[in-house]
Chain A
Amino acid sequence: MEKIILLVEDNPDDEALTIRALKKNNILNEVVVAHDGVEALDYLFGTGVYASRDIGVMPQVILLDLKLPKIDGLEVLKRLRADERTKLLPVVVLTTSKEQKDIVESYSLGANSYVRKPVDFIEFSEAVRQLGLYWLLLNEVALEKGEV
């Protein structure tokens, strides 16, 4: 089964750089990009533009920006954790902010990891590599009942 990465990112530059970093590190999984919070939720719950999607397929990891149009990242996280279907999905907050407030709030809402995007692309690339290594290769995703 393909391990999908859901990248929730509104900035096209950051989107391109993240995808580049993933590729650079030979993480060739399918990357689905949602450009705002609404789109991310639609994808995960099979609503809106993703009404026809098979929601039996869930991403292996969600890379979630915090500053997003319409519904922000923290709100997306809150809704994910409130829903049985998505509450166990690994969420890595990938953001520019290193405000204590954002970090604390992310973790308290159930983020699995918090990564600050460095300006230096080489550092960023290294961070993405480690993320990919951990969440895509090492981490065992908790499976839904009956799927074993």
Chain B
Amino acid sequence: MNYIVDFITKNATDKLTTFEKVKMIIRLVRQNRVLIIEDGLSPEEEAELIKQTMNVIDFENFIGLEFFNWNRNSSDSRRFFKRTTLSGDKYTVVAPSAAVQIIENSQELLSIKFSS
């Protein structure tokens, strides 16, 4: 299986409602795309993403997705990125679960292998 990485600019999502943004994300992830979303997801959008994901899981072709948020402007000088709960200046990575294998997950590093 091949995966395509899409870098989605803030411009592309700016005018979308929460529902539309999440719908777009799920449509692309189901096409085996890994998304880097410049205007990251807010907590509300994350909850909507989980809800819509649960509604489309079919247990054969799509078992769900993984997503990760990163704060771009961490004041913590030890880390370039800071994992965050809050909305604001962050970006989000979304990928199909079937493709994701986490190699390392620490404060400093999230390492993911994509394979199927």
- Whether A and B are associated in the same complex: the answer reads no
